[in-house]
Amino acid sequence: MFGKEFQRKYALTDQGIKNTKKGTFWTVVVNLIVMGGMGILYLLMSKYMDTLTDGAPLPKAWVFLLLVLGFVILSLVTHLQQYTATYGLVYGEVRAVRIGLAERLRKLPLGYFGKRDIADLTETIMGDVNRLEHVWSHCLGYLYGSYISTAIIAVFVFLYDWRMALACLWGVPVAFALLFGSRKLAKRQSELTKAAGVQVADGIQETLENIREIRATNQEDHFLETLNGKIDHLEKAMRMGELSTGIFVNAASVIMRLGVATTILTGAKLILAGKIEFMPLFAFLMVITRIYAPFDQALALIAEMFMSQISAGRLMEIHDTKTAEGSETFAPAGHDIVFENVGFEYRQDEQVLKGVSFTAREGEVTALVGPSGSGKSTCAKLAARLWDISEGSIKVGGIDISSVDPEVLLTDYSMVFQDVVLFDDTVMENIRLGRHGATDEEVLAAAAAANCDEFVEKLPQGYATPIGKNGAKLSGGECQRISIARALLKNAPIVLLDEATASLDVENETKVQGALSRLLQGKTVLVIAHRMRTVEAADKIVVLADGRVAEEGSPEELLAMENGIFRRMIQLQSASAGWSI
């Protein structure tokens, strides 16, 4: 019952399966004990009927009081155990699932995040886990416990009187057959609702992230109209989902409740025929109240249980994605980066790089240039194993980087990109991200080398000043210098630069270039260049075109090539420098 397929269906951890088994066990115990309480009531009524008909004396009152007291104590203890097993343990399961998802996402190649929308992933971690939490705590243990306890009770009532048992229980399998027959419809409607919900979350995130551009282009009405349309679509999908499942749930509940009528009719007929007495009918009416009661909640939630399988599938899709793994040790013989016939595709049959081969040597600056879309940024990402190549090999110091765990590999890399990512924290802590555990003195030394002192001393709290989300309180040049300070603090032997000064004014560019010169000394440097003056001092230039290496050599060698791509790019940028408006 609770095998691997069941575990995947509801995205349970190994501990979650154990918790479900505990919840099921204690639900069975509680249901049987409550049925025992009905037995005490039946015994009391039976003795009272004997007194009325035969004049038999009633048992001592204290006997029944002891029975009732024992029942109450046992019921309280078992209900507490059931609550702990179905609710208390589930909270730990939710924590474990979310931490497990975070750990899994941490190990996935960054290429995975290029294929998944952030709003979609957020909905999986928060919304899907919330839905599953409700199913784990409210449905699984109760439902499967009710199955088992009902089966046990059914055996005894059939042994007692098969005619009354059939009249009492026929509605249960019919009701659940109706519900399980509606699974495909519920699943389809759940998929539509989930897709609509993700669209709304994506629309809200997109609007908030681009609020400046929306206002600057007077597109508020258009974006709000689009967002309201997505919300209306979600509401419609939710109404249809509630309606379609509600019809089947209520129909199942009505069918199951018809068992009360058939029990009364069958019992009355058998009494009139002289085949049973009143007390067996009374007993079966009490049995009905306890058999149906555990299913009341389950019937209301079973549709949610079906829909939760969509959420579970989204969680398992993350767990099924292959992680970027490798050796926990990395001891290269130097830090030359060697590309050998590297091929790469973001999507199947959309190849971005084809047979790319070049070497970026330690102690040299190797620049990647070429038209937009030629594969420059892709090469830099592949060099740090932010993505995994499709064919060929990339080696650092003779070691194939695909054999090294990405987190271990990246200890030897520093990255300074044009788009700096900063956190809503102080200047000091944003720089300290470069090396965990660095002392304040080491952070301040790296900041000084990156020319951060100049603007930090003007901040109200100096290096203890919060800089806002993504450095909102700083200029572009100031953010860039914090990024360089991180890299200086890390002091890794390989540095990747993605045109770190392209968006800066002349004054800031000069200051950042000075900081970069200190960062790059003696390192293996791979520079992605868009402006040709950036690569004038490079030791080697690799020109990419259409995903292939078109030219390779020193700046002087490439400038000397007639009809060369690099030479033509230099000429075009020189010509554009003289343009005026």
229-250 pLDDT tens trace: 999 998 998 888 778 777 887 8
pLDDT computed for residue 185 by the predictor: 78
For 483-548, the three-class secondary structure string (H helix, E strand, C coil) is: HHHHHHHHCCCEEEEECCCCCCCHHHHHHHHHHHHHHCCCCEEEEECCCHHHHCCCCEEEEEECCE
Which helix or strand (DSSP H or E) is residue 29 part of?
A: helix 14-54
Q: Are 363 and 526 in contact (CB under 8 A)?
A: no
Instruction: Enumerate the β-bridge partners of residue 359.
Output: 338
> Distance (Å, rounded) from C-alpha 382 to C-alpha 346?
12
Residues 6+ apart with CB under 8 A from 491: 414, 435
Q: Are 331 and 168 in contact (CB under 8 A)?
A: no
pLDDT computed for residue 398 by the predictor: 92
> Distance (Å, rounded) from C-alpha 366 to C-alpha 542?
7
Q: Are 504 and 477 in contact (CB under 8 A)?
A: yes
Instruction: Enumerate the β-bridge partners of residue 150.
Output: none
Determine what percent of the chain falls in helix, strand and coil, rounding each to the nearest 5: 65, 10, 20
pLDDT computed for residue 401 by the predictor: 93
pLDDT computed for residue 508 by the predictor: 63
> Distance (Å, rounded) from C-alpha 478 to C-alpha 461?
16
* pLDDT tens, position by position, 373-397: 888 888 988 998 888 888 999 999 9
pLDDT computed for residue 187 by the predictor: 75
Q: Are 530 and 409 in contact (CB under 8 A)?
A: no
User: Which residues in the chain land under pLDDT 50?
Assistant: none
pLDDT computed for residue 83 by the predictor: 86
pLDDT computed for residue 209 by the predictor: 75
Q: What is the CA radius of gyration of the chain?
A: 35
> Distance (Å, rounded) from C-alpha 426 to C-alpha 446?
15
Domains, in order of start, for the chain: 4-320 (1.20.1560.10), 337-576 (3.40.50.300)
pLDDT computed for residue 1 by the predictor: 65
> 580: which DSSP letter?
-
pLDDT computed for residue 6 by the predictor: 84
pLDDT computed for residue 48 by the predictor: 66
Q: Are 498 and 417 in contact (CB under 8 A)?
A: yes
Instruction: Give residue 307's identity as a one-letter amino acid code.
Output: M
